Amino acid sequence: MWGGRFAAGPASIMREINASIPFDKRLWKQDIAGSKAHVAMLARQGIVDQADADAISGGLDTIAAEYEAHGVPVNLDLEDIHMVTESRLAELIGPAAGRLHTARSRNDQVATDFRLWVRDAIDDVEAGLAGLQRALVARAQDHADAVMPGFTHLQSAQPVTLGHHLMAYYEMVRRDRSRFSDARARLNECPLGAAALAGTGFPTDRHMTAAALGFARPTDNSLDSVSDRDFALDYLMAATQAALHLSRLAEEFIIWASQPFGFVKLPDAYSTGSSIMPQKRNPDAAELVRGHAGRIMGCMTALCVTMKGLPLAYSKDMQDDKPPVFEAHDLLALSIAAMTGMVETVTFRTDRMRALAESGFATATDLADWLVREGGIPFREAHHITGRAVAAAEQAGVPLDQLPLDTLKAIDARIDDRVYAVLTVDASVASRRSHGGTAPDQVRARIAQAKEELG
């Protein structure tokens, strides 16, 4: 490939370290699409004869069919997907294949291919996340009024509804989708035609190739075009945030499936057994999703470190840009599919959730609010009164709504029997009717909006 510049071939170790075909073969569809757009532009601009352009385009179609049927051959001597394809094209159509690389470099070629791949990856992730949102909305609708304990510090805090809890993850995923959407909009500029780093002296039409490949416009600076990997970092950062959200949901399923909680029974399809303890039902799928989040974060960090000190324009370090993106994408796709399946099929033990919500003095805030509202007591004083009531209930071994009125009046004479109307968990969740609150009518209203958003 290097022609007359080098008298000897590379050392065997150089041949191995320099080759990227083992991983960049994943770009073959994008590489062929970019080459077809490029040669069509060369022909229209009169840079390449139409007959040669037709032969090149036909040859590329043949190669695409071969790759589809048999995969991409791995030849380390040819280094990468670009040269593997160009070499095969020469075998098919002869010297005319050499005209394909007119007015382009592998630098702008790979930048274009990689952008196309990441754009496709974003579309795949968006579709997967939308499916997860639909699953969350469907289960939230089923349980819009099912009471469960809400936690802070993993301590029982206030009662909420299971529907409200699940819709919290819907909001997280909504933000994840917006980050991917923003990343897609930013990457949708075409580097093809920037050549090695300085542009080209041929009369190319970069707007034509950009349009043919579905880009909004060509990039505006040839140096930046071949050295930019912001789009890959944007993808990895969005993937990391999405993975963190999936990991939080997975962690809750893991905790909820444990015997002390008993909030859920995970389906057989997403659980495994123990090699020694026959009673075990291990939440392995959820644990792997939790683990994948760390690996995805590592992929993001790896590319950040690769790019942090590179001068303009292209450096061979950037060959290592693709493995972390490919790995993160595969892990994220698995994680999304696993969590969607678990959300769709998990059994929620709402009786257990309700029992724990009723046993943890979760309506204490409702008592404090009642004292403020009905007794005109400053909230800080009401907080102290409520704390004494909780201590009395704890000592008596009963929930707040079963404390005798005499006991409550002994704590503060301003308490009367109207207080019992706010001390049940159902009354508590029903009262939280502020925008975004846990009241079932608010939850159902948000579910209706979410269905419209999802279309």
Q: Which residues are catalytically annotated? A: 153, 274
CA gap 156, 414 in Å, rounded: 27
**CA-to-CA dists, residue 104 to 25, 41, 115, 181, angstroms:** 20, 12, 16, 29
What type of residue sits at position 54?
D
- Cβ–Cβ under 8 Å, residues 42 and 103: yes
Cα of 312 vs its chain's centroid, Å: 30
- For residue 18, give the nearest of 319, 321, 322 by alpha carbon: 319
Strand residue runs (E) in 12-88: none
φ/ψ of residue 159, rounded to 5:
-70, 140
Structure tokens at 318: 């950037």
Where residue 294 falls (left for φ over 0; alpha for ψ -120 to 50; beta otherwise) is alpha
Helices (H), 280-419: 284-307, 322-345, 350-359, 364-375, 379-396, 405-411
**CA-to-CA dists, residue 329 to 244, 294, 300, angstroms:** 14, 13, 11
- Cβ–Cβ under 8 Å, residues 25 and 72: yes
Structure tokens at 194: 């920037």
CA gap 253, 274 in Å, rounded: 19
Structure tokens at 397: 């071994």
Which residues, listed in sequence order, are joined to residue 189 by a DSSP beta bridge?
Answer: 217
Does residue 313 have a cis peptide bond before it, meaning omega lies within 30 degrees of 0? Answer: yes
- Cβ–Cβ under 8 Å, residues 183 and 234: yes
